[in-house]
Structure 1
Amino acid sequence: MGLFRKNPNEVAYTGGEKHWADVIKNSGPGELLIWRQPEEDFNTNSTLIVMPGEEAIFIKGGTVEQTFDNGTYKLSTENYPFISRLRNAFTGGVSTFNCVVYFVRKAHSVEIRWGTDSPIQVRDKMLGIATKLRARGAYKVQIGDPVKFLEKLIGNNVFYQTQEELNKYFISEFQSKVKSVIARAINESNTEILGIDSRLDELSDTIEPFMQEILDDYGLKCVKFTVAAIDIDDDELRRRYDEIGVEKLRNAQADKAVMGILGDDWGKQQAANILGNLSMNPGAGGVAATGAGMGMGMAAGGVFGNMAQQMFAPMSNSTPVQQPQPFQQAPSGRFAQPTQGNNSPTSSNTSQEDPMEVLGKLKRMLDAGLIEQSEYDAKKAEILSRM
């Protein structure tokens, strides 16, 4: 065994040994956030090359000597050719003037995906029931303070070099903040949980400052934080909303059935509703007041008059009661008062109408709840008595 043993760190050098002056540049994989260059204890006047998007940290004697942006530099160390080999003979070949270079990636990281490992407990404001949510998304980081990052996360022999390793380190703190902010936002909102996807951008912007607060202590910047989706992890909530949807569909189908009886024109339905109210207020004044109330954008006078003539005019054959006259719409859009005069009796027109058609209309009005059963029976008996 020779006296001048080789420094074991020299195995990383080209050819397996140090040279008079070496070139130090990043040889690590591109996906790493930080890389410790394996060539250590290099001789003084060695050349350091830092590429764009990188920053180099030169550590000498266990302290940060200097940081370097992209460019080419000469490094000054306490290691010299021949002299270092002689000096290291007393320490088993290991240099007492250790020096090393770390290369830090300054470019933005690729997206680091995250997701909640357990459900977020919230209460749906619409249904008033507790439910469970899961959130997922991604974020990007950038090393803002390489020295702080090195001191806090790397140390001497502890490595968080990859983005995935970094995510594992922060996941507990991240998830705590994410769950807290999402739960608070939903509990303070009056909207249903099913509409939470419309607020993803808002939630992302709200959570990002909390993430930045965590990363600041480690020399990192949160470039972008995104909540990609919030999934409902509760079958009971889906079932309840499905029931509400089915109920709304049934109500819509029922409304459609009523419209099928009354006709597609909504104005006709409103006129028919007013006609039903006349059974409780048959006076001419009530008719005029009711007709005036229909004047908001609907020419209901003619509709009401025609239905009144067809349904109730036959009663004039037995009892000479003055019939309300059809409303005429004035040019200004207001309903004019009924015209007075000797109008021809409507019974002659009704007598020519098919009794089956009249009875059919009465039956549809009864089914729609516009007239009472007693009114229907009386009119039916009256029409049948004239046949």
Structure 2
Amino acid sequence: MGIFDEIKKKLSHEFIDIVEWLDNTNNTIVHRFERYQNEIKNGAQLIVREGQTAVFISEGQLADVFTPGTYTLNTQNLPILTTIKGWKYGFNSPFKAEVYFVNTRLFTDEKWGTKNPITLNDDRFGLVEIRAFGTYAFKISDAGKFIIDVVGTHPNFTNFEINEHLKSLIATRFTDTIGEANLPIELYAANTSELSETCLEVMQPEFNLVGITLERFYIENVSMPEELKKEIFEYSRIDKIDLDRLTKFKTAKAIEAAAANEGGTAGAGMGMGMGFVLAQQMGGMMNPMASQVQQTTPQQTAANHSTPPPMPAQTVYHYAFNGQQAGPVPFEQLKMLFANRTINKDTLIWKQGMANWAALKDIEELKVFLGGNTPPPLPGA
């Protein structure tokens, strides 16, 4: 035996091959242990730390999986690899195998979001669009399955690369879950916790297919267009208060704005006069007992010769609003409702003497709303 063989033999006994991975990053999921020609010495020490799993791949096949601990690599600790290689009596020469260290710790605060708006069909608002975003946490639960199905031969696999796949999966399943929930649109933002739990249950099987466990899933925000928000707020107010009161209040505000914008004393006087009439109507509506107290009998009116006779009765109109009957309102107030788009030409209108409801555009004296500037004559003129 030559001197070089002696030195080689001595070194082989003094230096033990160590297979380990010290992770100095916070985003690496899989690291392939590098060895020249993937040769690992018989009797080498394998060190798998807590939060890691070591996966041995031989000739493209999953050979062995090691959980945390220290192992001496031989035929006893590599039973599957030994079977693949056909070693029946042990081996002394270096063997070839790819070793992948898989990070099994919990990866937290991963971001997800809908790239495009999700279109939903709401019973009251029709087709609406929403967006959502949040965070999730995952960890590798089956290292062998994850290596085979996702990583392949990638030498250094990070959470950025898996996140692109996971975010697409989340967006798809989130869209399905939201669509099947069939909630009123205004309740999505108020039920993010319940929706988060439901989405977690729906998505978990999809993650398990590639060896990943979805530990947490949070919906942080569900957003919608500002115009839709305003409609929802308006609808909620209408749902909480008397519809007729709301209509008369909006009409009063419209009259006030019109009077402020009109120039001249005549315009201001007309606006004030209409405002006084509307205020009296609203006052009577909100305090009917007071109206009853103020009413006088015909005998009292006849006895009081200084009181002028009552004005001729005005025609009043009932109208349909959001599927409900509203009114009655006088002609001028109905005109203001048309002007501020509370009603339109197709709104159903009824007045005393009409057999059935009719569209505003089909009532002769109301056609002036559609383009004419001359109001109908006063009753009795």
- Structure 1 length as normaliser, TM-score? 0.53
Number of the residue aligned with 1:223: 215
Distance between the aligned counterparts of 1:44 and 1:76, measured in 2? 6
- CA offset at residue 165 of structure 1? 0.8
Distance between the aligned counterparts of 1:122 and 1:259, measured in 2? 41
Match of 1:115 among 113, 116, 132: 113
Q: 2:248·2:282 contact (CA, 8 Å) conserved in 1?
A: no
Instruction: Call closer, same or farther: CA 1:252–1:96 in 2, change over 3 Å.
Output: farther
- CA offset at residue 223 of structure 1? 0.3
Give 5+ residue unaligned stretches, structure 1. Answer: 5-16, 79-94, 276-303, 319-346, 348-354, 370-387
The RMSD of aligned alpha carbons is 4.4
Please state if 1:315 is matched with 2:315.
no
Match of 1:212 among 204, 217, 222: 204
Number of the residue aligned with 2:289: 271
Distance between the aligned counterparts of 1:182 and 1:160, measured in 2? 36
Distance between the aligned counterparts of 2:14 and 2:252, measured in 1? 92
Higher radius of gyration, 1 or 2 = 1
Number of the residue aligned with 2:97: 99
Distance between the aligned counterparts of 1:167 and 1:160, measured in 2? 15
- CA offset at residue 252 of structure 1? 5.0
Number of the residue aligned with 1:45: 43
Instruction: Call closer, same or farther: CA 1:38–1:53 in 2, change over 3 Å.
Output: same
1:117-175: CA deviation from partner (whole Å, max 9, x where unpaired): 22211123223x212122212211111111111111122x2367222211212333332
In percent, how many aligned pairs have the same letter?
24
Instruction: Call closer, same or farther: CA 1:100–1:21 in 2, change over 3 Å.
Output: farther
Secondary structure of residue in 2 paired with 1:33: strand
Number of the residue aligned with 1:23: 18
Instruction: Call closer, same or farther: CA 1:263–1:18 in 2, change over 3 Å.
Output: farther
Q: 1:42·1:77 contact (CA, 8 Å) conserved in 2?
A: no
Distance between the aligned counterparts of 1:313 and 1:179, measured in 2? 69
Q: 1:106·1:143 contact (CA, 8 Å) conserved in 2?
A: yes
Distance between the aligned counterparts of 2:94 and 2:163, measured in 1? 36
Q: Which deviates more from structure 2 when the two are superposed, residues 146-155 or residues 234-243? A: 234-243
- CA offset at residue 106 of structure 1? 1.8
Instruction: Call closer, same or farther: CA 1:61–1:176 in 2, change over 3 Å.
Output: closer
- CA offset at residue 203 of structure 1? 1.6
Number of the residue aligned with 2:158: 162
Q: Which deviates more from structure 2 when the two are superposed, residues 96-105 or residues 236-245? A: 236-245
Instruction: Call closer, same or farther: CA 1:259–1:52 in 2, change over 3 Å.
Output: farther
Q: 1:18·1:42 contact (CA, 8 Å) conserved in 2?
A: no
Structure 2 counterpart of 1:177, one-letter code:
R
Q: 2:207·2:214 contact (CA, 8 Å) conserved in 1?
A: yes
Match of 2:171 among 168, 175, 178: 175
Number of the residue aligned with 1:134: 131
Q: 1:21·1:44 contact (CA, 8 Å) conserved in 2?
A: no
- CA offset at residue 218 of structure 1? 0.7
Higher strand fraction (1 or 2): 2
Please state if 1:195 is matched with 2:213.
no
Distance between the aligned counterparts of 1:43 and 1:159, measured in 2? 21
Structure 1 counterpart of 2:54, one-letter code:
A
Number of the residue aligned with 1:237: 228
Number of the residue aligned with 2:372: none
Match of 1:74 among 54, 72, 90: 72
Distance between the aligned counterparts of 1:179 and 1:172, measured in 2? 11
Instruction: Call closer, same or farther: CA 1:314–1:197 in 2, change over 3 Å.
Output: same
Distance between the aligned counterparts of 1:159 and 1:176, measured in 2? 29
- Structure 2 length as normaliser, TM-score? 0.54
1:345-356 mapped onto 2 (5 Å cutoff)? none
Please state if 1:152 is matched with 2:152.
no
